[in-house]
């Protein structure tokens, strides 16, 4: 049996190499450390975990979670349920919550003892359960949702009998609870299982009129009134909570289409509008820009890159092969921006919005996108936001994370589906 410790601040063995930072093993006292047991066997139907979780006068053993890897749900599809099985003694009548949590969210903890516990993570899935009788237990959890990009999922259990929280004294456990309080051993860690990487899937709303979009950068058309897609950390896909707070809110995008054009709109909060470049094809990517990559597939061949700044300066390039770009190419796409602030001052701004229009004729000539466009057609696309909050260090957000340090990586680029007018979800 392999055991790896996680201290109170991180799920170290799995999460710390990913985060690139973690305190030492002595960062928390022994009674505040937890263990995650590594799966020792993969039988296709799920993963089994050795080691008993001991509670006062009760135990949980024989844990199995599957099928693995877990598969995130998709837009328009419910996905496959996660089956969690274990055996109990001494827990008859206990009630509680069974949860599926992203590792970073499950690991996050405020370190000061006068602070609240773990912040809620919108990706977490919790269900109410009751242990009717001791012995074998079997429960179902929803699959990871469409916004899930974490490579692993933590399966956790919190139990009570009446008003008394049942805390583990041995085995994998944590003090962080789903109600944002904490109690040592109150969260039982049943296992850590892999999740299959899946790209973000988004829809482009079909427009019934060619005049439905007025390209002025102002997002006042009904096409942009629907639910937006929120940009996440460009490499990992983690929610950009801290950066969003610094910028003044989340960065969001929408998509629409008609017979002539594909449209992209973005809302980009920013307390300090910054756009020093003034000529087309200057290196916007070194400072602040809104980027859209478009292709017919994820092969990494025959794709287009488009960038626009808050000054409405454009950069574009076509790529017959992966990273073999032609920056001298100037596409016929159109852009418009609207500023809530001023470019020529430092700070005091609120952000900018942008509208882009790409002709299908050009997309089909330069990529493997097929014309004429039709409902149900799928493109591969990615949207990035580059920003310098302090005008020095650049940060990046993405529609779908690249999962590697390369904005030209196509393996996990978003899937864009063209839908009929009124059919969007």
The tens digit of pLDDT for each residue in 161-189 reads 999 999 999 999 999 999 989 899 999 99
Tokens 């418009």 correspond to what residue? 336
Are the beta carbons of 192 and 154 closer than 8 angstroms?
yes
Element (H, E) at 242: helix 241-247
Tokens of 207: 């427009």
Distance of CA 158 to CAs 62, 170, 211, Å?
17, 15, 54
Separation CA 105–CA 338 (nearest Å): 35
Question: 29: Cβ–Cβ under 8 A, 6 or more apart, which residues?
Answer: none
Are the C-beta atoms of 238 and 150 separated by less than 8 Å?
yes
Task: Please report where in the chains the tokens 């998709």 appear, as a residue.
Answer: 74
- In the chain, % helix, strand, coil (3-state, to 5) comes to 10, 40, 50
Position 6 confidence tier, pLDDT thresholds 50, 70, 90: very low
Helix, strand, or coil (residue 50):
coil
pLDDT digits (tens, 9 = 90+) for 335-359: 999 999 999 899 999 999 999 999 9
pTM of structure: 0.84
Higher pLDDT, 190 or 50: 190
pLDDT band, residue 118 (cuts 50/70/90)? confident
pLDDT of 315 above 60: yes
What are the structure tokens assigned to 189, written together? 């860690």
Q: How far apart are CA 235 and CA 400, in angstroms?
A: 9
Tokens at 6, concatenated: 């996680």
How far is Cα 67 from Cα 288, in angstroms, rounded to an integer? Answer: 42
CA atoms within a 13 Å half-sphere pointing along the CA-CB vector of 158: 24
Position 75 confidence tier, pLDDT thresholds 50, 70, 90:
confident
pLDDT of residue 236: 93
Query: What is the rounded average pLDDT for all residues in the chain?
Result: 88
Q: Which of 327, 341, 322 is nearest to 273 (CA)?
A: 341
Mean pLDDT of 241-269: 97
Arithmetic mean of pLDDT, 46-61: 93
Q: Confidence class of residue 104 from pLDDT cuts 50, 70 and 90?
A: confident
Task: Check if the beta carbon of residue 120 is closer than 8 Å to that of residue 176.
Answer: no
| Alpha carbons 338 and 224: distance in angstroms, whole number | 15
Cis peptide, bond prior to residue 95, ω within 30 of zero? no
pLDDT at 110: 52
Predicted local distance difference test score (pLDDT) of residue 114: 57
Q: Is 133 helix (H, G, I), strand (E, B) or coil?
A: coil
Give yes or no for residue 67 having a pLDDT over 80. Answer: yes
3-state secondary structure of 338: strand
Strands 41-42 and 82-89, bridge-based pairing: unpaired
Please report which confidence band the pLDDT of residue 25 belongs to, taking 50, 70 and 90 as the band edges: very low
Q: Is the pLDDT of residue 43 over 60?
A: no
User: Residue 160: what pLDDT?
Assistant: 97
Q: What is the pLDDT of residue 258?
A: 97
Nearest alpha-carbon partner for 96 in 105, 104, 108, 88: 88
């Amino acid at each position: 049996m392999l055991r790896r410790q996680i201290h109170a601040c991180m799920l170290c063995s799995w999460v710390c190499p990913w985060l690139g930072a973690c305190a030492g093993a002595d960062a928390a006292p022994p009674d505040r450390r937890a263990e995650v047991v590594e799966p020792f066997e993969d039988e296709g139907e799920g993963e089994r975990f050795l080691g008993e979780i001991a509670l006062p006068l009760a135990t949980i053993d024989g844990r199995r979670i599957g099928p693995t890897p877990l598969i995130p749900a998709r837009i328009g599809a419910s996905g496959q349920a996660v089956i969690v099985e274990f055996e109990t003694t001494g827990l008859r009548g206990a009630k509680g919550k069974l949860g599926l949590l992203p590792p970073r969210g499950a690991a996050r903890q405020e370190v000061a003892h006068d602070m609240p516990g773990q912040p809620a993570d919108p990706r977490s899935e919790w269900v109410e359960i009751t242990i009717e009788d001791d012995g074998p237990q079997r429960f179902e959890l929803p699959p990871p949702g469409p916004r899930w990009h974490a490579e692993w999922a933590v399966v956790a259990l919190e139990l009570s009998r009446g008003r008394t929280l049942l805390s583990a004294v041995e085995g994998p456990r944590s003090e962080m609870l789903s109600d944002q309080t904490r109690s040592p051993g109150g969260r039982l860690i049943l296992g850590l299982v892999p999740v299959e990487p899946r790209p973000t899937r988004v829809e482009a709303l079909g427009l019934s009129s060619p005049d439905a979009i007025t390209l002025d950068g102002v997002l006042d058309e009904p096409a942009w009134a629907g639910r937006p897609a929120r940009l996440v950390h460009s490499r990992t896909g983690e929610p950009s909570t801290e950066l969003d707070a610094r910028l003044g809110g989340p960065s969001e995008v929408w998509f629409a289409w008609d017979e002539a054009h594909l449209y992209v709109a973005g809302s980009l909060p920013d307390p300090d509008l910054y756009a020093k470049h003034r000529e087309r094809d200057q290196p916007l990517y070194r400072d602040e820009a809104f980027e859209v990559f478009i292709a017919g597939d994820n092969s990494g061949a025959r794709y287009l890159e488009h960038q626009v700044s808050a000054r409405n300066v454009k950069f574009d390039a076509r790529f017959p092969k992966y990273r073999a770009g032609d920056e001298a190419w100037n596409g016929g796409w159109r852009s418009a921006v609207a500023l809530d602030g001023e470019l020529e001052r430092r700070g005091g701004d609120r952000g900018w919005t942008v509208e882009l229009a790409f002709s299908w004729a050009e997309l089909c000539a330069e990529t493997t996108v097929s014309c004429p466009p039709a409902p149900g057609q799928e493109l591969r696309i990615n949207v990035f936001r580059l920003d310098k909050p302090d005008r020095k260090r650049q940060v990046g957000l993405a529609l779908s994370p690249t999962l590697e340090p390369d904005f030209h990586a196509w393996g996990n680029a978003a899937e864009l589906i063209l839908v009929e007018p009124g059919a969007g979800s």
